[in-house]
Chains A and B, each alone.
Chain A
Amino acid sequence: MEIVLCFVIGILFSVGLYFILHRHFFKLILGLMILGLATNLFIFVIGRLTRGGSPIIGEEQEVALEPFADPVPQALLLTAIVIGFGIQAFAIVLIKRVYQTFGTTDLDDLDSTDQIHSPKPPAP
């Protein structure tokens, strides 16, 4: 199963990046979200998979009994998902705002800060 998941994650990464490489704002957001999902799954799979076995200590025990899933990547993931949501929300609102202000949906139009206005060479 893990091997299959590895390939699924690869596909998710590919599709996410492909959407990001589009010129349309909306596709950029979709790509960001897929890339976020892929990353989450990546971390989860790297922490090894355990079918069932939640990292929860039973009522009558004092310590967790094997097999239980590694809680460390799960804790990391929880944080990552929440922060990822913050970024997504901000990106959605930012792009809405940019669309309202500049009236464009094309990322290539937003290059005014990167254009080099070829300077006049100084006279010798």
Chain B
Amino acid sequence: MVLALVAGLAVACAAPLIHRLAGSRAYLLLMLLPLSIFGYLLSLLPTILAGQVLSSYYPWVPSLGIHLDIYLDGLSLLFALLISGFGALIIAYAAGYLKGHPLLGRFYGYLIMFMVAMLGVVTAGNLFSLFVFWELTSLSSYLLIGFKHDTEDSRNSALQALLVTGGGGLALMGGFLLLSTAGGSLSLPELLEQGDLIRTHALYLPALALICLGAFTKSAQFPFHFWLPNAMAAPTPVSAYLHSATMVKAGVYLLARLTPVLGGTDPWAYSLLIVGGTTTVLGAFLAIQQSDLKAILAYTTISALGILVSMIGLGTAPALEAMVVFLLAHALYKGTLFMVAGNVDHATGSRQIKQLRGLGRHMRPTALAAALAALSMAGMLPFFGFIGKELLYEAALEESTTRWALFGLTFFSGIIFVAVALVLGYRIFWRKTPTPTPLLHADGPLLYLPPLLLAGLGLLLGVLPALLVTPMLRRAAEAMLGEAQTFELTLWHGVNLVLLLSGLTMLLGWVLYRATDRLHALAPRLAPLYHYGPNNLFFKGVKALPGAAAALTGAIQTGKLRNYIAVISLTLVGFVAYTLIPNGPPLVLADRWHLVTNVRLYEVVLILLILAALYMLHRSKSRLTSIAILGIIGYSIAVFFILFGAPDIAATQLLIETLTVVLFVLVLHKLPAFHTLSAIQQKPKYIAVSVLFGAAMTYVLLLVKQFPLDSPLKEYFGQASYLQGQGRNIVNVILVDFRALDTLGETTVLAVAAKGIFALFKLKLDQEERL
């Protein structure tokens, strides 16, 4: 399986080349990849159906517990088969839909990359590799939505989808990290057995919230649903593949996958039921107001995703069983309907249902596929959609506490699905009209065969469910429930409450369909509501972002040196206070008070001299005086060095001080005269910063001096200086012998400074550069 993924990525990279070499028949070559993966998965089917789980181990970053593990059970296999089979059809369909497009090769590449990423998501056995593939699906979705990159709409929609799903991805990563902390492993099979431990862990709730956020953004749940209709800016093959059948189901897959780990608690059930339920109703409600074929399909997809999430939230055996059946049914009919919408668009150049009339006569195969898929969507006998809907109703009715609310949702969306199915399957093709919409292009076999195949599969599965899918769906449900499932899928359950409700759904759906035009007339009145919708808020936020960033940067980055230095000093003081005052040792001054009195008179004189000099420096208005005063301070400090046994430093200090004064005097006439620049109101602020800084330094110094200095170095250099270094002045020996390399570094610094000064003097700026 790892081999298949790697091969897939290689093919994705090579796709543009293959397209250039093989021309318009490239799709036949490229289809080999998904078909061979599909075949390989089919060959694994007996093993999985026998109840085994295939897992392989491939170390990636073993020290962090990150592996490219593969974990393939019924649930994974169901998704993987769907992805690879659908992928093959989509490549063929894209070849027809984008025939002659100059970037078709690149499109194939993106599509295959997405397929590989999606296969990676559903077969990953390690949270981290799952996350990597998950992000890869977001990225490839971005590239595919933005495929028509010359239109601004496409680019914005692509960016929106990336930001929403990418943001969810970040939350997901956080959730995974918490989950792995709680469960003690990143490995999926190990986590699946830790469910009880994780559900009682303190990190359970945050992990659940973050993982749900990731899944909800990916699966376009309310309030993140808005990116999906915008994503319809992508070419239709992408909408059919990513945004109805596979990628948006990644969130559903994740929730289903983690049901044994996270599921079964109240927070889980309520958050999924409420979010899923809201999404179901909202999607259905918005779908009926749309007049663009793809928008209608997008909103019904949102509604269907809401149903899937609610069913996972319900978590009972019938609910999860209904979930997998409906998931498969929905992928088959919705993929078909998207391709039908694409064919109509391709043939007539329009997707507005008001402009589309009487297409059936000239697009018979497409119309047939549309009819088959629409019947499945409406939940008509004997299609697979019928089984799905029956199971949904049963599952919703079985639960006692939320019974009517849940049934209400599914019933409401069921009615709208019927109405939408009538629009797509009947109205645009067969309603009697004197003026059929003229066709611009005929639809070729590449365009109508894939939807026909999918729609036909929907019928076939409906007629023969036991033979074809029941065993696999059982295994898929088993992966979520953790125990063997024995349910049977049958078309005919006899005349019972659910069947009657189905009939009622049909009837009400038909009534609603009759009122479609009136509803569309009402739709503009709801437009002000969209103003407050999340989509509008999103774009407003994106638009405001550069301005906010500029304002923030302007506030922080003032361009004034003093502000920067004040912030740096205060930060330093803050850190010192934060680390030393609560945790550090207490400052004890009491028993050291006698040290204060241990002061010689000449020392007091020196200190007074320094303090007086500082005061005069502050008062001084003349540059020359300032330099002279600075010299006094420097010399006084040099005398301190002499008094406390450091004649070498004192000598250096005296020398340097003299040099500095000389240097100052040399360039003094070129330096600006004094004048007050700072506003008087600013002063207290800066005085406060300075005093705090000085106080912090004193505090540190006093604290350090509370402890004895046990430096073995002093002893060592005292012993070794003469015997090893042949020198009596220990400081000198250290500088030129023991640490000679440091002294070389110091000399280098001086040389660099000298070079810099020389360069500054030599620098001749042109007149323009002088400003």
Which residues does A use to contact B, with CB under 8 Å? 1-15, 17-18, 20-26, 28, 30, 33-34, 37-38, 40-42, 44-59, 61-64, 68-72, 74-75, 77-79, 81-90, 92-97, 99-102, 105-108, 110-116, 118-119, 121-124
What are 9 A-B contacts with C-beta separation under 8 Å?
A22-B677, A52-B645, A71-B730, A71-B734, A77-B646, A78-B731, A90-B757, A92-B664, A93-B667
Residues of B within 8 A of A101 (CB): 765, 770-771
CA distance in complex: A79, B735 (Å)? 9
CA distance A80 to B721 in the complex (A): 22
Contact (A21, B771) CB under 8 Å given A3-B595, A69-B645, A82-B750? no
A62 to B650, CA, bound (A): 25
User: Which B-chain residue is minimally distant from A105 (CB atoms)?
Assistant: B672
Q: A6 and B701: CB pair below 8 A?
A: yes
The answer for the CA separation of A54 and B634 in the assembled complex, in Å, is 21
Q: How many A-B Cβ pairs are below 8 Å?
A: 308
What A residues does B717 contact at CB under 8 A? Answer: 55, 64, 71-72
Supposing A3-B702, A95-B671, A111-B560 touch, asked if A89 and B156 sit within 8 A by C-beta, the answer is: no
Q: Which of A57, A74, A123 has the most CB of B within 10 A?
A: A74
B550 located at the interface, meaning its Cβ lies under 8 Å from any Cβ of chain A in the complex: yes
B438 to chain A, nearest CB (A): 35
Instruction: Tell me, rounded to whole Å, the shortest Cβ–Cβ distance linking B410 to chain A.
Output: 37
Question: Other than the known A3-B702, A87-B753, what 20 A-B pairs have Cβ atoms closer than 8 Å?
Answer: A3-B592, A4-B599, A9-B698, A13-B698, A14-B690, A20-B562, A30-B617, A41-B637, A44-B641, A51-B644, A55-B645, A55-B731, A57-B722, A63-B723, A83-B750, A85-B660, A107-B561, A110-B559, A112-B559, A119-B546
Whether the pair B645, A107 counts as a contact (CB closer than 8 A) is: no
The 5 A-B pairs of least Cβ separation, nearest first, read A111-B559, A14-B694, A10-B698, A114-B559, A69-B645
Determine whether the beta carbon of B646 is less than 8 Å from that of A82.
no
Stretch of B235-243, B297-305, B651-659 with 4 or more beta carbons under 8 angstroms from chain A: B651-659
Contact indicator B562/A44 (Cβ below 8 Å): no
Whether A69 lies near B644 (C-beta < 8 A) is yes
CB pair A99–B735 under 8 Å, yes or no, is no
A63-B718, A92-B664 known; A56 and B729 CB under 8 Å?
Answer: yes
Bound-complex Cα distance A56 to B770 (A): 54
Contact of B557 among A10, A24, A116 (CB under 8 A): A116
- Evaluate contact between B550 and A90: CB separation under 8 angstroms: no
The stretch of B288-296, B455-463, B486-494, B706-714 in contact with A is B706-714
A114: shortest Cβ distance to chain B, in Å?
3
Query: Which A residues lie within 8 Å of B728 (CB)?
Result: 56-59
Instruction: Tell whether, in the assembled complex, residue A63 and residue B722 are in contact, meaning their CB atoms are under 8 Å apart.
Output: yes
Least Cβ–Cβ distance between B650 and chain A, in angstroms: 10
In chain A, what residue has the closest Cβ to B694? A14
Whether the pair B660, A33 counts as a contact (CB closer than 8 A) is: yes
Q: List the A side residues contacting B719 at CB < 8 Å.
A: 63-64
CB distance from A86 to the nearest CB of B (A): 4
Q: What are the residues of chain A within 8 A of B152 when measuring CB–CB?
A: 123-124
Would B547 and A15 count as touching, CB distance under 8 A? no
B window 587-612: CB within 8 A of A: 589, 592, 595-596, 598-600, 603, 607, 610-611
Query: Is A57 a contact of B730 with CB atoms below 8 Å?
Result: yes
B689 at the interface (CB under 8 A from A): yes
**Looking across the interface, which residue of chain A has its beta carbon closest to that of B734?**
A75
Assembled-state Cα–Cα distance A1/B761 (Å): 45
Known contacts A68-B718, A79-B742, A116-B550; is-contact A8 B610 (Cβ 8 Å): yes
How far, in angstroms, from A102 to B765 measured CA to CA in the complex? 11
- B190 on the interface (CB 8 Å rule)? no
How distant is the Cα of A107 from the Cα of B566 in the complex, in angstroms? 14
* Chain B residue contacts of A99, Cβ below 8 A: 670-672
Q: List the A side residues contacting B156 at CB < 8 Å.
A: 124
Given the known A-B contacts A40-B637, A70-B709, A114-B557, are A75 and B731 also in contact in the complex, defined by CB atoms under 8 Å? yes
Q: Give the distance in Å from the alpha carbon of A70 to the alpha carbon of B710 in the complex.
A: 11
**Is A96 touching B731 in the complex (CB atoms < 8 A)?**
no
Q: Give the chain A neighbours of B686 by CB distance below 8 A.
A: 18, 21
Whether A116 and B701, one on each chain, are in contact in the complex, defined by CB atoms closer than 8 angstroms, is no
Would you call B559 and A81 a contact (CB within 8 A)? no
Contact pick for B746, options A57, A63, A79, CB 8 Å? A79
Residue of B nearest to A25 (CB): B672
User: Bound state CA distance, A94 and B633, in angstroms?
Assistant: 24
Q: Is the CB of B718 within 8 A of A77?
A: no
> B722 touching A62 by the CB < 8 A rule?
yes
B676 (CB) vs chain A CBs: closest residue: A24
Structural contact, B711 and A72, CB atoms closer than 8 A: yes
Q: Which of A3, A47, A58, A106 contacts B709 (CB 8 A)?
A: A47
Q: State whether A97 and B749 are in contact (beta carbons under 8 Å apart), knowing that A23-B678, A54-B646, A124-B156 are contacts in the complex.
A: no
Are A72 and B714 neighbours in the complex by a CB distance under 8 Å? yes
Whether A72 pairs with B617 at a CB distance below 8 angstroms is no
Tell me, rounded to whole Å, the shortest Cβ–Cβ distance linking B622 to chain A. 11
Q: Is the CB of B756 closer than 8 A to any CB of chain A? A: yes
Residues of B within 8 A of A23 (CB): 562, 677-678
Bound complex: CA A89 to CA B740 (Å): 24
The interface centre, meaning the residue of B674, B719, B728 with most chain A CB atoms within 10 A of its CB, is: B728
Instruction: Give CA–CA (A59, B607) in the complex, Å.
Output: 34
Residues A55 and B730 in contact in the complex (CB < 8 Å), given A44-B646, A74-B649, A92-B664: yes
Residue from A21, A83, A90 whose CB has the most chain B CB atoms within 10 Å:
A21
Q: Are B714 and A83 in contact (CB under 8 A)?
A: no
Is B693 touching A54 in the complex (CB atoms < 8 A)? no
Instruction: Report if B626 contacts A (CB, 8 A).
Output: yes
- Contact present for A105 and B677 (CB under 8 Å): yes
Query: Who on chain A is nearest to B566 by CB?
Result: A21
Q: What is the distance, in angstroms, from A99's C-beta to the closest C-beta of chain B?
A: 5
Taking A17-B569, A57-B722, A69-B646 as contacts, is the C-beta distance between A2 and B730 under 8 angstroms? no
CB distance from A2 to the nearest CB of B (A): 6
Q: What separation, in Å, do the CA atoms of A93 and B393 have in the docked complex?
A: 86
With contacts A6-B698, A72-B713 taken as known, whether A20 is within 8 angstroms of B645 at the C-beta atoms is: no
Chain B residue at minimum C-beta to C-beta distance from A66: B718
B432 on the interface (CB 8 Å rule)?
A: no
Cβ contacts B544-566/A at 8 Å (1 or 0 each): 10110011011001111110011
In the complex, the answer to whether B705 meets A2 with C-beta atoms within 8 Å is yes
Contact A4 B711 (CB under 8 A): no
Q: Which of A75, A86, A102, A124 contacts B542 (CB 8 A)?
A: A124
Find chain B residues with CB under 8 A from A97 CB.
760-761, 763
* Structural contact, A11 and B702, CB atoms closer than 8 A: no
Contact B554 A118 (CB under 8 A): yes
Interface pair B663/A94, CB less than 8 Å apart: no
CB neighbours of B648 from chain A (8 A): 74, 78
Would you give the shortest CB distance from B318 to chain A, in whole angstroms? 46
B630 & A34 in contact (Cβ 8 Å cutoff): yes
Please determine whether A106 and B677 come into contact, CB atoms closer than 8 angstroms. yes
Asked if B531 is at the interface (CB within 8 A of a chain A CB), the reply is no
Q: Say whether A93 contacts B761, CB under 8 Å.
A: yes
B649 near A78 (CB under 8 angstroms)?
yes
In-complex Cβ contact of A85 among B554, B641, B659 (8 A): B659
CA distance A106 to B599 in the complex (A): 43
Within 8 A of A (CB), among B425-477: none
C-alpha spacing A84/B629, complex, angstroms: 19
- Residues of B near A85 (CB, < 8 A) are 656, 659-660, 750
